[in-house]
Amino acid sequence: MYKQSLYKILPNHVKAKILNRNNKFKKWKYGYDEDHDMVVISKTGEIGEIYEIQNLIIALPKAAGVVRNEGNKWKAAEYPKELKNIKTVFDWKNYSEQFKEEWYDYIEEEFQRREKGYWFFNKDKPTYITGTQYMYLQWSKIDIGKPDFRESNRLFYLFWEACKADKRCYGMSYLKNRRSGFSFMASGEAVNMATISSDSRFGILSKSGADAKKMFTDKVVPISVNYPFFFKPIQDGMDRPKTELAYRVPASKLTRRGLDSKTQIETLTGLDTTIDWKNTGDNAYDGEKLKLLVHDESGKWERPNNILNNW
């Protein structure tokens, strides 16, 4: 009988007394917890199961608000047809206050899921996915339409969230098999991070400049274009650019205190955030400050270029 070895649960890593006390007062902080040598990826102040993935100990959020989807498995929710024709925050302002009031809670909940993650029943088991994976599964368009839920991808996202939370970490190396979805997942994360970052730059390299460009035009740009209006900043330049995706006006939380007046929309400041790609080379992005650099197909660089020199 097959027994998975990708991760294991550590039920006694934190003493029950400490766990319960810190959960009660919501004292667990997102990031590396030196006292317990673990990375907390919960943003609620409470933790639940503690995983060990590739020797990294990761504390997940405590189960809360678990949703039972149709079929007792992951299923992306339908985008309400009432909102589909709204393409930008500027379109939103033209709708009546009564209409906006009907959708504030829905939009706020989507922002909460993006920030804190999402719980659902998968074959009767409460299952947590990070906010980044939620954005990938719910709001990203890939070559087959909506991505499928895969347990291996869930572990990838948990590990990646720990990398982001742990200030000791420089990034993540991921060895994979073909058709695992990494290029789409990495593209989705570039868009996800870029649309909530200001004055930032995101880069893409691949085994060749042509491959980096294809990843940008065929994956990054379509994912960005298909975001719902409340997550999508106003884009500068072409609708489907070939070299750089530039976000100028941010997608702000559309709450009752948010974008509910013409004045507020007109005074929005730009994100000044970009995603672009470069030709493969040791000096690509040399000296440039990047918030995220995606090295796709990094094991296939051809001489004289060397991935180690670039890193």
166-219 residue pLDDT tens: 999 999 999 888 878 899 999 999 999 999 998 999 999 999 999 999 999 999
For 140, other C-beta atoms within 10 Å of its C-beta total: 24
- Spatial CB neighbours of 251, under 8 Å, sequence gap ≥ 6: 89, 195, 196, 227, 229, 230, 231, 232, 233
pLDDT digits (tens, 9 = 90+) for 11-46: 999 999 999 999 999 999 999 999 999 999 999 999
* pLDDT reading at 254 higher than 80: no
Give the start-to-end residue ranges of the domains of the chain: 1-62, 63-166+177-310
In this prediction, residue 262 carries a pLDDT of 42
Torsion of CA 90, 85, 228, 118, to 10 degrees: 130
In this prediction, residue 264 carries a pLDDT of 43
Confidence of residue 116 (pLDDT cuts 50, 70, 90): very high
For 91, phi then psi, to 5°, come to -65, -40
What would be the CATH architecture of the domain defined by 63-166+177-310?
3-Layer(aba) Sandwich (3.40)
Confidence of residue 269 (pLDDT cuts 50, 70, 90): low
* pLDDT reading at 255 higher than 80: no
To which H or E segment does residue 255 belong? none
Spatial CA neighbour of 197 closest among 162, 161, 247, 258 = 247
- According to DSSP, residue 95 is labeled S
